[in-house]
């Protein structure tokens, strides 16, 4: 008990100072090493260096160029690796959705070669979010016999892809998207509905058996991988835009400090810990709270200093779709109209609210 | 007894927040005793906040000073104003001491006239915040009931109709108060309950604590001990933005079994719990949007595990070997000029935020020791890494405390369930079903360790051993998990 109160040996101030110095120098070293690595790799992948290395003709006989050619031999794997990486990066930046092969390491997977799709989304601060992945596998009947029969029949109506694993957040329904754009063949589809599970393991792709006309039609539907990826990426981008819009509004209200950390809403809590938890707004609108109600950032909740409360729904296009605002007397239609009206862009929300309060005060 | 004189009529209302349990109940001090001293002080101080204090005011000195002669003899003389009580707890916070004095002060001093149900609920939830692994949780999935019908009709339409569809998952929107109201409407005729909703301070979860009792009366005539009976309390945790929720598993001890044996089946806590659990999807449903429950074959002690494996994040459907994708350990931002295989996975995982230098020191040493390994173990290490991904070193650890596996393979073909299946080989001609149960603090992490040591062949082991399926109960045939629909 006493040890906690008084540290055992009070450290030498000089020692402490030295420790701090060492720590700062270490940090400096690691940042510099990091910078050096980035510089070398960007130098390697720069087109000028590449052309220089390629133009170096091996026929010259001076000793100077001999050292250069050995240098070139040393460098060439590095240069090709850097080049390939840059090419991938360019594709990722430019197209947003890229494909790559992946091998399932599980020994008993029927088809270990997976098709990976990588979706890159650029956030508002210019950084890229962690890439999202979808791994697709070729659908095959689980029972070998049926599979072989099918191969013998030679129905080459293309591969059927289905989603194996993904890292899409749970509020975007990959199952729904896959159901619409990557339909499985008719029999497996009906099996799907029978057992009601999202499983694809128990499905078989046998084309035999009686077939209802509706099923036949659905089996004719082609899988649309492009459409699948397009819609998925659109949803992900819309989500990032929505959450960015909420952050943008919070920044405008001064609810986020410059350091990026969330401002404590109850700063003056320590002064009067028992009082009502209300803080002074940092803006002239009197709004003390604005936050997304969930990770999805579809609904945004607003709170005023005087107890008014509201909630609005953000559309994928960045419009305020619906809004409900309450004051002491009930629904506040004026605010609702201001929030949804005037084009409904979420970015100009506060301008509209300011206009409303100016109108109220002028007459 | 004053209570017996009042009129007692059966109602369907929920138990009031302000129902007082006698402070002398021994199990109360036991419940509070589970909490740490700072937690107790935090709780007491929060009870004295303006927004709470009306529902359970502390015992104050009556204004007429005639009858306080016997008060003086008590160890905790009643304070005269609220400010005095607050000050007492602030003072306690500022100095050191045991937690027993605080429990005594709460029960014998300031709340000697009774401890309310809400206070008890707050204390229980505080304990859960401090010890996220204190209960066993089962993850359930909420599924739209009529989803099939709508998707069928939609698939018949043109693709233009599909393009305008909303792809967000059918997550029930929970407005806490109205959800509790509709849940109450569902279960009120069957069970009497007390509800307490609270937001977890450490995890992105909303807890609902339901205390159930089988009495139609507003002031039940049960023993006060019943209010702290763990079998009568159900916790439900709703994670943000995902179609799952977690319920605390039934923890019926033998002692309570025997005590409830005398009662009828309808008053068994387990029956009551089942009633509540079945009412949840109904309470979440709305017209044209009905939900049903689906088991997800995952139960774990740690809430963080459930959040990782059945949560809103990236790792819900990519685990085991695929956790490298969930953690984005494979490659960094497309703006990074360094080839991704030259960058440490930990650096990728840390994401786009500026790197925290302190963490990289540990991983750097791991890479350094790599050179000293023999080529054999190096190869094994690579194989382990390819099978387990970032399991065990991930930033969001998901330890499973129990893994039940039932092998349905006919005997003789045990190429993948090698050593474990030997146990039941005697009954080979009976086509035995082999059940394996792993328990421990981190089962998958332990299997990874075994693989690293060379006990388990990382290349041949089936994928359920790597935690790829993210379940705690599985039926396995041919090394693959069968999805069995139950209920």
> Quick one: pLDDT band at residue B37, thresholds 50, 70, 90?
confident
- Ranges of H-type helices in B196-355: 254-261, 269-284, 303-309, 323-326, 345-349
Tens of pLDDT along B85-121?
888 888 888 887 778 888 888 888 788 888 888 888 8
Backbone torsion region of residue A300, taken as left when φ is above 0, otherwise alpha when ψ lies between -120 and 50, otherwise beta? beta
At the topology level, CATH places domain B317-482 in Ubiquitin-like (UB roll) (3.10.20)
Whether residue A354 is predicted with pLDDT greater than 60 in this model: the reply is yes
| Alpha-carbon separation of residue A351 from A319, A354, A361, B199 (angstroms) | 15, 5, 15, 33
Please indicate whether, in this complex, the C-beta atoms of B168 and A298 are within 8 angstroms of each other.
yes
Give A 215-234 residues with CB within 8 A of chain B: 217-218, 221, 224, 227, 231-232
How close does chain A come to B46, measured CA to CA in Å?
A: 9
Whether residue B411 is predicted with pLDDT greater than 70 in this model: the reply is no
Tens of pLDDT along A60-79?
545 555 666 666 667 777 77
Characterize the bridge pairing of strands B402-407 and B473-477.
parallel
Tens of pLDDT along A296-320?
888 898 888 888 888 898 888 888 8
What is the average pLDDT across A328-357? 84
User: First CA to last CA across chain B, in angstroms?
Assistant: 48
Whether residue B285 is predicted with pLDDT greater than 60 in this model: the reply is yes
Residue B13: CA count within 13 A, CB half-sphere: 12
Neighbouring C-beta atoms of residue A80, cutoff 10 Å: 12
> Quick one: pLDDT band at residue A27, thresholds 50, 70, 90?
very high
Whether residue B227 is predicted with pLDDT greater than 70 in this model: the reply is yes
Q: How many CB pairs under 8 A join A and B?
A: 189
Whether residue A43 is predicted with pLDDT greater than 70 in this model: the reply is yes
B420 exposure class (CB count in 10 Å sphere: 0-12, 13-18, 19+): middle
What is the average pLDDT across B120-128? 88
| Beta strand extents in B373-433 (DSSP E only) | 402-407
pTM of the model: 0.76
- Ranges of H-type helices in chain A: 2-5, 13-45, 47-55, 63-95, 144-153, 174-181, 186-195, 213-220, 225-253, 333-340, 349-361
Question: C-alpha angle with apex B120: B117 to B126, nearest 5 degrees?
Answer: 140
Question: CATH 3.10.20.720 spans which residues of chain B?
Answer: 317-482
- Rounded-to-integer distance, Cα B146 and Cα A20, Å: 64
Q: Are A308 and A294 in contact (CB under 8 A)?
A: no
- Which pLDDT score is estimated for A144? 41
Cβ-Cβ contacts under 8 Å for A53 (sequence gap 6 or more) = A72, A75, A76, A79
Neighbouring C-beta atoms of residue B332, cutoff 10 Å: 22
How close does chain B come to A61, measured CA to CA in Å?
A: 34
Min mean pLDDT across A62-71, A141-150, A254-263, B376-385 is at A141-150
What is the average pLDDT across B419-444? 66
What is the average pLDDT across A327-352? 85
Find, in chain B, the residue whose alpha carbon is nearest to that of A316: B166
Tens of pLDDT along B349-393?
665 443 333 333 333 333 444 445 677 778 888 888 888 887 766
Of the candidates B162, B313, B335, the beta carbon closest to that of A169 is on B313
Question: C-alpha angle with apex A346: A344 to A350, nearest 5 degrees?
Answer: 95
How does the average pLDDT of chain B come out, rounded?
A: 73
What is the average pLDDT across B170-182? 77
Give B 189-208 residues with CB within 8 A of chain A: 204
The DSSP-derived string for B284-296 is H-BTTB-EEEEEE
What is the average pLDDT across A123-129? 84
Give B 123-162 residues with CB within 8 A of chain A: 148, 151-152, 154-156, 159, 162
- Which pLDDT score is estimated for A162? 85
What is the average pLDDT across B391-405? 76
- Rounded-to-integer distance, Cα A168 and Cα A174, Å: 7
| A295 chain-B contacts, CB cut-off 8 A | 204, 240-241, 312
Whether residue A36 is predicted with pLDDT greater than 80 in this model: the reply is yes
Which residue has 């001609």 as its token pair? B429
Residue B34 per-residue DSSP state: T
Q: Across chain A, which distance is largest between two alpha carbons, in Å?
A: 93
A168 touches chain B (CB under 8 A): yes
A47 touches chain B (CB under 8 A): no
Tens of pLDDT along B290-332?
888 888 888 888 888 888 888 888 888 888 888 888 887 777 7
The answer to whether ipTM exceeds 0.85 is no
| B351 chain-A contacts, CB cut-off 8 A | 130
- Rounded-to-integer distance, Cα B57 and Cα B342, Å: 63
Please indicate whether, in this complex, the C-beta atoms of B168 and A172 are within 8 angstroms of each other.
yes
What is the average pLDDT across B166-176? 70
């Amino acid at each position: 008990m006493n040890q906690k109160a008084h540290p055992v040996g009070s450290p030498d101030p000089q020692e402490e100072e030295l420790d701090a110095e060492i720590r700062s120098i270490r940090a400096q070293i690691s940042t510099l090493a990091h910078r050096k690595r980035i510089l070398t790799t960007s130098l390697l992948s720069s087109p000028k260096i590449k052309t220089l290395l390629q133009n170096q003709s091996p026929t010259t006989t001076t000793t100077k160029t001999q050292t250069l050619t050995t240098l070139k031999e040393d460098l060439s794997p590095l240069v090709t690796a850097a080049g390939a990486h840059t090419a991938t990066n360019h594709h990722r930046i430019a197209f947003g959705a890229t494909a790559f092969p992946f091998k399932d390491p599980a020994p008993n997977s029927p088809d270990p070669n997976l098709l990976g799709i990588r979706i890159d989304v650029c956030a508002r601060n210019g950084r890229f979010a962690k890439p999202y992945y979808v791994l697709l596998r070729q659908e095959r009947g689980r029972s070998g016999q049926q599979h072989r029969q099918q191969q013998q029949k030679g129905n080459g109506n293309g591969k059927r892809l289905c989603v194996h694993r993904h890292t899409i957040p749970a509020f975007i329904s990959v199952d729904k998207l896959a159901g619409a754009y990557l339909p499985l063949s008719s029999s497996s589809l009906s099996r799907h509905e029978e057992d009601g599970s999202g499983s694809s393991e128990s499905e078989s792709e046998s084309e035999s058996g009686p077939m209802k006309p509706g099923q036949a039609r659905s089996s004719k539907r082609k899988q649309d991988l492009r459409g699948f990826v397009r819609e998925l990426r659109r949803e992900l981008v819309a989500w990032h835009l929505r959450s960015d819009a909420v952050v943008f509004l919070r920044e405008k209200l001064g609810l986020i400090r410059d350091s990026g950390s969330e401002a404590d809403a109850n700063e003056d809590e320590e002064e009067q810990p028992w009082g009502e938890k209300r803080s002074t707004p940092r803006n002239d609108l009197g709004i003390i709270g604005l936050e997304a109600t969930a990770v999805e950032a579809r609904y945004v909740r607003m709170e005023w200093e005087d107890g008014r409360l509201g909630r609005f729904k953000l559309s994928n296009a960045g419009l305020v779709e619906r809004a409900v605002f309450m004051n002491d007397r009930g629904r506040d239609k004026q605010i609702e109209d201001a929030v949804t009206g005037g084009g409904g862009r979420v970015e100009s929300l506060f301008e509209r609210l300011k206009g409303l309060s100016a109108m109220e005060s002028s007459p | 007894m004053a209570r017996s004189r009042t009129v007692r009529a059966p109602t369907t209302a929920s138990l009031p927040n302000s129902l007082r349990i006698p402070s002398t109940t021994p199990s109360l001090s036991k419940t509070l005793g589970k909490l740490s001293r700072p937690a107790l002080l935090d709780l007491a101080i929060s009870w004295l906040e303006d927004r709470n204090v009306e529902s359970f005011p502390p015992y104050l000195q009556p204004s007429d000073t005639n009858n306080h002669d016997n008060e003086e003899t008590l160890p905790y003389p009643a304070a005269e104003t609220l400010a005095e009580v607050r000050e007492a707890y602030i003072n306690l916070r500022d100095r050191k001491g045991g937690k027993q004095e605080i429990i005594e002060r709460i029960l014998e001093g300031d709340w000697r006239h009774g401890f309310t149900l809400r206070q008890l609920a707050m204390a229980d939830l505080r304990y859960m915040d401090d010890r996220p692994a204190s209960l066993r949780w089962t993850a359930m999935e909420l599924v739209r009931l009529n989803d099939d019908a709508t998707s069928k009709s939609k698939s018949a339409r043109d693709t233009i109709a599909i393009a305008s569809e909303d792809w967000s998952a059918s997550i029930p929107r929970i407005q806490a108060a109205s959800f509790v109201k509709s849940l109450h409407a569902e279960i009120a005729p069957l069970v009497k309950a007390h509800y307490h909703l609270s937001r977890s301070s450490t995890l992105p979860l909303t807890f609902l604590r339901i205390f159930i009792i089988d009495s139609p009366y507003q002031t039940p005539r049960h023993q006060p001990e019943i209010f702290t009976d763990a079998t009568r309390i159900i916790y439900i945790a709703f994670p943000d933005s995902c179609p799952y929720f977690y319920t605390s598993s039934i923890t019926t001890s033998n002692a309570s079994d025997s005590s409830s044996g005398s009662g009828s089946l309808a008053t068994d806590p387990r029956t009551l719990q089942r009633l509540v659990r079945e009412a949840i999807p109904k309470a979440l449903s709305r017209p044209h949007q009905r939900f049903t429950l689906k088991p997800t074959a995952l139960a774990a002690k740690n809430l963080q595990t459930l959040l990782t494996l059945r949560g809103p994040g990236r790792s819900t459907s990519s685990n085991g070997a695929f956790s490298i994708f969930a953690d984005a350990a494979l490659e960094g931002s497309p703006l990074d000029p360094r080839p991704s295989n030259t960058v440490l996975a930990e650096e990728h995982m840390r994401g786009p935020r500026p790197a925290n230098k302190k963490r990289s020191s540990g991983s750097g040493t791991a890479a350094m020791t790599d050179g000293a390994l023999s080529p054999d173990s190096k190869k094994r290490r690579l194989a382990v890494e390819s099978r387990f991904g970032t399991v065990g070193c991930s930033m969001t650890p998901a330890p499973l405390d129990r893994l039940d596996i039932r092998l349905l393979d006919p005997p003789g073909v045990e190429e993948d369930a090698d050593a474990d299946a030997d146990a039941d080989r005697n009954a080979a001609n009976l086509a035995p079903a082999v059940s394996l149960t792993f328990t421990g603090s981190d089962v998958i992490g332990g299997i990874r360790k075994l693989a690293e040591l060379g006990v388990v062949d990382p290349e041949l082991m089936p994928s359920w051993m790597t935690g790829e399926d993210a379940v705690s109960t599985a039926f396995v045939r041919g090394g693959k998990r069968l999805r069995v629909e139950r209920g």
